[in-house]
A and B are shown apart, each in its own frame.
Chain A
Amino acid sequence: MSAAPLPLSTLLQRADLWRGDALGCAAQAGLASGFASLDALLPGSGWPRGALTELLLPQTGLGAGLGELSLLRPALSALDADAGWVLLVSPPWVPHAPAWQGLGPGLSRLIVVEAARDDAAWACEQLLASGAVAALLAWLPESDARALRRLQLAMAGQQALAFVFRPDRFVGSASPAPLRISLTAEATGLALNIVKRRGPPLTAPLILPVERPISWARLAARQTPSPLQTIAQGVATGVPLAGVTNGARV
């Protein structure tokens, strides 16, 4: 007396099942990231709601300043003022209010939680469970998969966005986050290497021109140093440039 077999199409409606060559369907539609090329690669066509997104940052150097928050800026700005709160949990640097003022719903909806190690994961869990969070940005360099799983469970079924920043040495280790992206800097933009998603693996990183203090085009123009810069460098290093010095003496 076996049950009638389920048609494959019904099974594929489940968020945790997908065909190897197609994107899975998300439990709820994502929040558009503001980058069409990225949305096309994500199940739910945007940043997942009610699920963790893990962003892996290089552990060499400062491990910040690549544009990792500019990547989230369009999505955060799309949040309603009454959608809830934006939380920064154990940020590694000091938030600079004049800049955060223009990000997302603004300072009136931003709360900073400074917590160490275990307390940070606990705080995230408490916050996510409250249901009042619109977006959680957490820096959890020490947390293990078990702690992340607790977060994943705490926020299931909610509308919240949750981004967890971790160093990229965790690329190879298991994580309950359904979306994991490793971020690196490229000359023409921020490179997103989607390590894990509910869908087929990607071979090439996606390069996004996230917002920067100067445009990527201007940056590219500066990559080929102009003759004037070469001279300036020469002066600074003290290498005499024959033509100029001779001219001055005459």
Chain B
Amino acid sequence: MRWLALRMFRLPIEVFTARPPAVAVARGRVIATDAAAEALGVQPRQRLSSALGLAPQLSACERDAQRESAALARLACWAGRFSPQVCLAPPDELLIDIGGSLRLFGGLEALLQQAEAGVAAEAYSVSLGLASTPLAAQWFARAGVPPDLTQTPADEQAQLTALPVAVMGLDERSARRLAVLGIGRIGALQALPAATLARRFGPSLPTQLAQARGDLPDLRRAFDFPERFSEYIELPARVEQAPMLLFGARRLLQALAGWLNARGAGLQQCTLELEHEDVADSQLVLGFAAPTRDGERLLRVLRERLDRLELAAPVVGLRLVAERIEAMPGESVPMFGEAGAQGIAPVIERLRARLGREAVHGIATVAGHRPECSTVAVDWPQAAVAGDAPLRPLWLLREPRPLPERAGRPHHDGPLQLLTRPERIESGWWDAGEGLGDIRRDYHIARSVRGEWLWIYRDAEGWWLQGLFA
């Protein structure tokens, strides 16, 4: 097993969109700083008053644990793209079991790059930790030890002993006592008998040490990917131009793609709800030609829609909801985008986003004799049931066009030459009054003076042009 820990070490402040330098505070003390505040010397645990002394322009946000857990859950959804085995480690860490995903992502290095870039795209500061146990991975992430790609189990143990005890996140009293004892490294703790440690610091400390080493099992509760995807983000500023929504929506779509991947599902439709300041929310329904969970594809369709959208009012928040999902096993993230048969689906979605869903369709035959009723538009082309088709024209007119009759012959810019005996089509008594109804027609193939091959018929009202043999 290979565990990747992601530690969003500025999460408490980064869930806000405050003007830097900024800090998150709880009970008058700094909890987390952004990079600008850190550069000014502001540190966690400082009193807000001393922090303001260092940086008078500091903006302070009261810590919001609810926002933090929502952000962490959204990141967990996103992390579903790497593995369905994702664990939350509140307040600010995620653990991903990547052991089974390495080949899929083209190796450890590629996976780590994607993970880091992905969190950075969500605008969170992250440090990674990689180890064979979840706890050790968390410790490495806290200590800021960069993942070592060529790490052997022995290396890992050696690196573990070199970590400062602070990574264990002990309570203040235990930390002080360890400092008094002169124990600064994990290695020094490991050298002490477990029974003694348990007596002095409580049983959890030796258990943690053993779990980090892999001597004791460390069972983590896997993140429950929600049944229904519904995530909300607040936009940093009021957005008045639709295309500007793309940046915020991208974060939601990436989370959606990860969630779909973890659930082994795809979707054909999702809804982006735009929250406005004073007027009622508006909705944008995104449809896809075939079930998909490809984040880029979701994004392309959204971009097409946003380009043509006129906002009714400025938008302050976005919510993405996916209700109907379809099982879509087999393919995984990087397998998408291949050419050939599947390759048409993304472009069809783009066309539909611009032209409307009905404008792009397949056609299918319907059993029946009436020409107007024998074609039906279908959402996606289907394998046709091959029947013996009688001689039929490729084109029909939307409405049959009346043809004048002169000297007993139908005319269309000149007399028409009838080339076949009449073919009688008499059908449809069952939907008289609601559909096309009962028809009694004699069809002929005819040729006009211009050399056009026409499909015409005669009924009680006269001659009609209905089709063209193109």
Residues of chain A touching chain B, judged by Cβ–Cβ distance below 8 Å, are 58, 60-62, 64-70, 82, 84-85, 91-103, 106-115, 119, 122-123, 126-127, 129-133, 184-187, 212-214, 218-219, 222, 233, 236-237
Contact = CB atoms under 8 A, between A and B. Distances in A.
B470 A213 contact: no
Interface string B438-470: 000000010110111110000000000001111
B365 A127 contact: no
Nearest to B375: A97
B359 interface: yes
B343 A93 contact: no
Contact of B341 (A127, A129, A132): A132
Contacts of A108: 362, 381-384
B470 A67 contact: yes
Interface in B144-200: none
A93 B395 contact: yes
The 4 A-B pairs with the shortest beta carbon distances in the complex, nearest first, are: A185-B451, A236-B408, A93-B395, A65-B468
Contacts of A114: 355, 358-360
A98 B392 contact: yes
B363 A100 contact: yes
Contacts of B407: 233, 236-237
Contacts of B365: 97-98, 101, 107
B255 to A, nearest CB: 27
A97 B454 CA distance: 17
B339 interface: yes
Nearest to A68: B470
Interface of B: 339-344, 346-348, 350-351, 354-355, 358-366, 371, 374-377, 381-384, 386-387, 389-398, 407-409, 413, 417, 419-420, 445, 447-448, 450-454, 467-470
Contact of A100 (B342, B377, B394, B453): B394
B114 to A, nearest CB: 25
B381 A109 contact: yes
A132 B340 contact: yes
Nearest to A128: B347
Nearest to B465: A62
Contacts of A237: 407-408
Given A111-B381, A112-B362, A131-B339, A96 B344 contact: no
Which of B371, B389, B390 has the most chain A CB atoms inside 10 A of its CB? B389
A58 B351 contact: no
B95 to A, nearest CB: 39
Given A67-B470, A96-B375, A236-B409, A132 B339 contact: yes
Contacts of A100: 363, 394
A84 B344 contact: yes
Given A65-B468, A132-B341, A111 B346 contact: no
B395 A94 contact: yes
